[in-house]
């Protein structure tokens, strides 16, 4: 259904190839959200980082194999 495009599509057809991932102290990783642009994902990750918890938030681009 993606027609060769990378990233996940929403029901409205928007492609959201950028993920914000939370990694805890034990190395467990959880997807926090998907975003259309890297800048948007980085803003979210930066905002979450400022909360002062001992967790790491990273931005990654979705690869075709994970969709």
pLDDT tens, position by position, 3-54: 444 556 566 667 899 999 999 889 999 999 999 999 999 999 999 988 766 7
Predicted local confidence at residue 1, as pLDDT: 36
Q: In the chain, what are the domain boundaries?
A: 8-66
pLDDT for the residue 14: 75
The answer to whether residue 67 scores a pLDDT higher than 60 is no
**What residues pair up with 23 in beta bridges, in sequence order?**
29, 56
Report the side by side order of strands in the sheet with 56-61: 29-35, 18-23, 56-61
**Residue 44 pLDDT:** 96
Q: What is the CA radius of gyration of the chain?
A: 13
Q: Does residue 19 or residue 1 have the better pLDDT?
A: 19
DSSP string computed for 33-61: EEESSHHHHHHHHHHHHTT--S-EEEEEE
**Cβ contact 57:32 at 8 Å:** yes
């Amino acid at each position: 259904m993606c027609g060769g495009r990378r990233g996940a599509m929403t029901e409205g057809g928007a492609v959201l190839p950028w993920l914000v991932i939370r990694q805890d102290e034990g190395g467990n990783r959880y997807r926090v959200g998907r975003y259309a642009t890297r800048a948007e994902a980085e803003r979210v990750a930066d905002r979450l980082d400022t909360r002062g918890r001992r967790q790491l938030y990273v931005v990654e681009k979705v690869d075709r194999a994970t969709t």
